[in-house]
Structure 1
């Protein structure tokens, strides 16, 4: 697909959630470089305002900011209301966070917030945007999940479960959207450069967020799922072919040694 065809199919505007850092920021930058107008949303509007100004100046696109905390169950409905007048052809449902460590040691309220951000928000945004995209007859949705959503991951159990929902959501919708002109891709990155990994020493195979975003957009028609790093693609393909008990026991032993 040429840049012009890409913009014609998925433009003129894109919504990016969690756009203040990490993969969401990289999606915003990559889409602006491809000539997309943007609606950027996250909790930290100061970061978004600075990003919007920079992208307007460097790429000549329109960029507006909607502050939204997706741990509030009502936030997706407000986003849908505030974008009702925008011709959004691409929805990048990227906002999310993780909780690592032994499951019983984690705060239950934090897990509830994580489920709201990681699961409730993408479900509600997809529910609201799909009729709009089907009416247009073209467009796309990108869900940012994780390789940890492909199999239950010990010592990342709650996060892994939340991303498993996103994988299933994206796969199911990919099937439902066949013949509508709406493409659905569930992005399953491994370790990625972000604020969360900035202070973690010794992480191998760390992929730049800009590369993750670029590859996801280049493979938007290659759903239902996409793992952007060869190392993690091979690792999780191997794990999923092993007897499940053996795979989980080995993962638990490896992760326990790191905690």
Structure 2
């Protein structure tokens, strides 16, 4: 299975946001499966340390690219830097969230989130899909969120950015039929990352390593994939309810949690 996976999606994978959390877990899992890597993030010191560790443990060849995806020009720079690299798997993972009442959010922070969470994956996919199609094999994984499956009160801006990622991934899954390119939109629930560190009372946390492993195991099972059974059940039930009823119930539940 590992050899077949590497033959289809190797020899090199690009992972954005690889310095921590799910992105880091993707890098580790892919190295374990025999891939070479192109890793991007702002914190290149972390990437350099990761590259050294993976070289020692797996013989992985890693290219580190410092990349601030809050700059709209960064995707073009990544595309230029990877020209000529045989990338068979793209993991568009970088992103961040903003929680709380919508009107209380900083407009500049929301604009940056829109650039990182939406502009970057769209532009990277646009530039890399022709390369994947030319290979006639490969894959593209978008890290979205269960919060992209329905508008989530008190997470409005983040939920909206991930809804774009879900729609983008689903549409591209349809467009790539018959090309040999698989598209999976990954929709995790609560995950043990820097974003949840220190938060109390979060149930059903999933490890980044499990999220990454399950995503790679299911890359052919698009268009969307929720890696935790609890959140699959929860959001299937929410989306099956009348939308007004589901949103009102979610909003009331958040008001109670926030006091």
| Deviations 1:136-183, CA, capped at 9 Å, x for gaps | 000000000000000000000000000000000000000000000000
Quote the RMSD (CA, aligned, Å): 0.5
Question: What is the alpha-carbon distance in structure 2 between the residues aligned to residue 257 and residue 24 of structure 1?
Answer: 33
Match of 2:121 in 1: 122
Match of 2:51 in 1: 52
Match of 2:66 in 1: 67
Structure 1 unaligned runs (5+)? Answer: none
Q: Output aligned runs, 1:1-259, within 5 Å.
A: 2-259=1-258
Question: What is the alpha-carbon distance in structure 2 between the residues aligned to residue 255 and residue 20 of structure 1?
Answer: 31
- Report the TM-score, using the length of structure 1 for normalisation: 0.99
CA drift at 1:255? 1.0
Question: What is the alpha-carbon distance in structure 2 between the residues aligned to residue 256 and residue 24 of structure 1?
Answer: 32
Question: What is the alpha-carbon distance in structure 2 between the residues aligned to residue 210 and residue 94 of structure 1?
Answer: 14
CA drift at 1:258? 2.1
Question: What is the alpha-carbon distance in structure 2 between the residues aligned to residue 254 and residue 82 of structure 1?
Answer: 46
Question: What is the alpha-carbon distance in structure 2 between the residues aligned to residue 221 and residue 27 of structure 1?
Answer: 16
Runs of 4+ in 1 over 2 A off after TM superposition: none
SS of aligned partner of 1:248: helix
Question: What is the alpha-carbon distance in structure 2 between the residues aligned to residue 75 and residue 3 of structure 1?
Answer: 32
Question: What is the alpha-carbon distance in structure 1 between the residues aligned to residue 71 and residue 51 of structure 2?
Answer: 24
| Deviations 1:115-144, CA, capped at 9 Å, x for gaps | 000000000000000000000000000000
Question: What is the alpha-carbon distance in structure 1 between the residues aligned to residue 214 and residue 222 of structure 2?
Answer: 12
Q: How many residues align?
A: 258
CA drift at 1:257? 1.8
